[in-house]
Structure 1
Amino acid sequence: SPLPPPSSPTRHPPHLVLPQRLPWQQAPKDFAYHEDEFILEGVAWPGAALSRFDRALLGAWQERMARGLFRYHLAELPTRVLPGTMRLLAQLNAQRSTERRRPQAVRSLTQPFDPQQFNFTQIRPGEVLLRLRRRPSAESDPAAADHVLVAINVSPLERGHVLLLPEPTLRLPQVLTPELLRVGLEAVLLSAQPGFRVGFNSLGASASVNHLHLHGFYLAHPLLVETAPAEPLCPARGLSLLHEAPAPALLFYTAGAGLEALARDACTAAARLLALGLAYNVFVTRGAPPDGSAGPGAGLRLLLWPRRPRFEAEEGAAFNVALCELAGHLPVPTAAVFEELSETEALRAIRRPLLPEPEMRRLAADLARLLEDEQLLCRLFQFQRPIH
């Protein structure tokens, strides 16, 4: 029978020692994978058979839905494409707006982790679906391979909506790390579905919990950001500037190799944004090369949106602007908004927190120089290393 609604989370004062055995340590199912399982070709709409990763995630997610571990039952959502060139996708998800946990109060881009607030050490045992473990390759350090938990988002946006969590007892704040981002990139490549996406909201950019996590979810619709052409900025690092999209973005692209370098470069750019007092959102999806030389499933696109930080919800807004909205996927709270929303109105809301084009261009050029300088330093270091 369905479980009763979750009670108020237990809060652990800083001076108390946490239990030795926390909920996620009760043996979640291991999902060990190797780079050989990455699906680098043949992923196209409307999607092929499920991969081993898809079956494990969706099977466990659906089982938790049947057990009543979510705040509401997610049926098929009413969906429509708004008329216009951007092909914005609106979805009516009224229950998320009413049943979702209230977002935490945030006052700073670098706010420390607060154990008094809700965090992922408090999730129930059944909410953890899998423990992702990368099998080390022959040349890698076995000790470097760590696990990431896959847990349900109890207020789901879409089918298979999960959170990717590094070890929760580390109590890391919501600042993106290369290690977690690399796992997110790998998760997209483990899926055979073009609609499996991964993303991140920073503090000041609609993050609702200040405890490090990525979002992952399935959305069975293509988005313009997967194929729109982009202007090259730093080709050696796969960095371009995406214009013809709902929200102009910095675009990193890879055909599937060099995931560690891509994650490091994106996090280097994100760290520069924080140093400049800017918030950011990240969206990872399968997509075409920036020059359009191959199809939409040819590689990975990572979109990074710098934005003015905002620490309070905008009064009277039709929707909050986070990673989904910037990518052109608009979950809306009411039937009236769903039926009446126009592309013009939606684009105005989506672009409001973003930088003006001249400022965005200056920032993009600054980030390109930063990555080029880092590449030069790496080459000098390799050249100067002694040969044994």
Structure 2
Amino acid sequence: MYSRTLRKLTQINCDSWRLLSSFRRVAATELSRRRHCWRSVVALPVFVVARSVACKVAMAKEEENPKRKRTQSKAKYVTTIQGKAPHYLNSLKVRWEQLHEIPGIFAYQLQKTRPNRVLPGKYKFYAELNPDRTLKRRIPQTIENLNPTFKPKQFNFNKVDALEVMMTIDDVDKTEVQMIVNRSPLTRFHTVVCPDVKNNLVQRITAHSLKFCINFMRGLDDIDIRMGYNSPGALASVNHLHFHLLHLPQDLYINHVELEELAGGYVYRLSKSMPTEAICVIFEANDDEAEVQEKVNNLHKLADWMCGQNIPHNLFITPDRRPGKRGNVQVFVFARSQYCVNKDLAEFNVGFCELAGYIPVGDSDKLENLTEPMVIKRIREITGTAPQAVYTRMKQIVNGEDQSIWEQPLTI
């Protein structure tokens, strides 16, 4: 009797425990499910908000930097200098870095980081220390005038070591453009761009060389690459046609100047409120071949005229870094009243770099003591009154007005 009662109580207890365990499992599962749902509901608005913000940022960037529209078919575009430029630039960067590691190719090893200063003031001129260039670069040639003759016995780019030629680009009309390392670099990837080297062209802009440089720049997505040109009397070092390619990631003075329209809807001058003078020709991202050719021809006519008038000049070619202008290229033309015969490597020279707002200096004292007023004063001294005549002449060229009165040499 007692044992039967005990077995019955034990069975009831076991059944109760099983029932309680089942209830706990069901309750735990339900609670877990509800927690997961609650988390999903809470996380959903956060995800939606985050995605919404990301989309708005992307849309804002798209509006600020609209995609470049090709004016040619893709098949034709990829065969042009403009279409091939990104590939050429990437190959050039790799080759430049390789050569920079080989002893004897460069006059000195360019330091990855160099002391620099943004000069205090409104216009933010950027100065950088490069003492090696002052001490170790090749002695610049003396080029007596703007219409020099080629002198094969002097240094020219036919005489560089074959290893210094990073690449040769086949351009239109079976011409070649050599990309040669600058043995005394100002920046990473500093390259001498030499069109038609074997034809022994003097340091005077040709329409073909100008068009090559502009189309090369128009094809790049890298807005840190710039090009420049110094004429005889404007800091040219070698009397053999060449441009410079530089890597300048900094925003420079010239990238933020105010512009006033001068002629044609694409030729501007620096605003009268700016401290320096220059012409700016804008190549739009969507310009077709005819529009590009027209602008190149007018720039070349201006350069030819300046040579005939004994006006030294510099060019600076840069991606348009203003908001909403991605894909445009700006060509700045600086005219000068003073003809510089020799570079004084110990002093503050003015070439296309300095005119654009990038100022390499040779010693630390100059880096520390250079001021914005000093830079502006020096630029104004070499510029003089020449830009005023150039503004008038460029309007004549663009508007197709009578040019006979401009054929007489200008006295400065």
Q: TM (normalized to structure 1)?
A: 0.77
Match of 2:109 among 45, 48, 73: 73
* Alpha-carbon shift at residue 111 of structure 1 (Å): 1.2
1:340 aligns with 2:382: no
Distance of 1:374 and 1:259 partners within structure 2: 21
Q: Which residue identity is paired with 2:83?
A: E
Q: 1:375 to 1:87 in 2, by over 3 A?
A: farther
- Deviation track 1:77-107 (CA, whole Å, cap 9, x = no partner) reads 2222111111100010000011110110121
- Deviation track 1:252-294 (CA, whole Å, cap 9, x = no partner) reads 0111323333222111111111111211000000116xxx7x5
* Alpha-carbon shift at residue 108 of structure 1 (Å): 1.3
Q: 1:296 to 1:89 in 2, by over 3 A?
A: farther
Does the 8 A contact of 1:161 with 1:217 survive in 2? yes
Q: 1:252 to 1:375 in 2, by over 3 A?
A: farther
Larger radius of gyration: 2
Q: Which residue identity is paired with 1:118?
A: F
Q: Which residue identity is paired with 1:130?
A: M
Distance of 2:317 and 2:191 partners within structure 1: 14
Q: For residues 221-240 of structure 1, what are the structure 2 equivalents within 5 Å?
A: 221-236=250-265, 238-240=266-268
* Other-structure match for 1:94: 131
Tell me whether 153-162 or 341-350 shows the greater mean CA deviation.
341-350
* Other-structure match for 1:360: 387
* Other-structure match for 2:142: 105
* Other-structure match for 2:316: 283
* Other-structure match for 1:45: none
* Alpha-carbon shift at residue 228 of structure 1 (Å): 2.0
Distance of 1:345 and 1:374 partners within structure 2: 39
Match of 2:155 among 81, 94, 118: 118
What is the total number of aligned residue pairs between the two structures?
Answer: 319
Q: For residues 41-190 of structure 1, what are the structure 2 equivalents within 5 Å?
A: 51-68=86-103, 69-75=105-111, 76-134=113-171, 144-190=173-219
* Other-structure match for 1:242: 270
What is the SS of the residue equivalent to 2:318?
strand
Q: Which residue identity is paired with 2:168?
A: R
Q: 1:375 to 1:299 in 2, by over 3 A?
A: farther
Q: For residues 374-385 of structure 1, what are the structure 2 equivalents within 5 Å?
A: none
Does the 8 A contact of 1:227 with 1:287 survive in 2? no
The structure that is helix-richer by fraction is 2
1:350 aligns with 2:350: no
* Other-structure match for 1:382: none
Tell me whether 296-305 or 365-374 shows the greater mean CA deviation.
365-374
What is the SS of the residue equivalent to 1:73?
coil
Does the 8 A contact of 2:264 with 2:398 survive in 1? no
Does the 8 A contact of 1:120 with 1:211 survive in 2? yes
Q: Which runs of 5+ in 1 are unaligned?
A: 1-31, 40-50, 135-142, 377-388
What is the SS of the residue equivalent to 2:101?
helix
Identity in percent: 26
| Runs ≥4 residues deviating over 4 A | 314-317
Distance of 2:219 and 2:361 partners within structure 1: 29
* Alpha-carbon shift at residue 36 of structure 1 (Å): 6.4
* Other-structure match for 1:373: 400
* Alpha-carbon shift at residue 354 of structure 1 (Å): 0.3
Distance of 2:245 and 2:216 partners within structure 1: 9
Q: Which residue identity is paired with 1:267?
A: H
Distance of 1:53 and 1:88 partners within structure 2: 31
Distance of 2:222 and 2:274 partners within structure 1: 22
Q: Which residue identity is paired with 1:59?
A: V
Q: 1:245 to 1:153 in 2, by over 3 A?
A: farther
Does the 8 A contact of 1:163 with 1:215 survive in 2? yes
Q: For residues 263-302 of structure 1, what are the structure 2 equivalents within 5 Å?
A: 263-287=296-320, 295-302=324-331
Q: 1:246 to 1:282 in 2, by over 3 A?
A: farther
